[in-house]
Structure 1
Amino acid sequence: MQFTWDGYFKQVGSAIIGCSSEFDLAKYSLCYITRPGKQCKQSLGGKPLVIQTYTWENSSYGNGKKYIGSAFPATP
């Protein structure tokens, strides 16, 4: 989906509907903290799990800090 947020047009975006637990949010946040803008490779129950993160730098607040732009499961 495409949308405008804080005055900036986001060309590619996504949403996860109906599945976020605190465990999921912590896992995605940890991947962003350790590998911002990259793939975070893990295993869950012996199965490979890859989470891709993207940073958001076009912000009018935060003095140029980077924020989580997206984090989602990717193909291993």
Structure 2
Amino acid sequence: MIQTILGSNGPIGHELALELYRKYTHNIRLVSRHPIRINSDDELVTADMTSYLEKGRPTINSCKFFLTQLLDTLNE
């Protein structure tokens, strides 16, 4: 089962990707506006997390997903 990290370019997302890879699974999907591969097997998905419609698309077929960045747009 794939683990998806939304907002993967930040420090929390980076450390989470490393830890998931080391201890749990190599099936990791990294989602960001400009995703950067952290582990050799990572799947990269480009999405803008400030867009409501794009939030759901990257989580398809994920058994778990992690939102690692607070969005200022929630208060707008």
TM-score (norm 1): 0.30
Indicate the structure with greater strand content: 1
More helix by share: 2
The higher radius of gyration belongs to 1
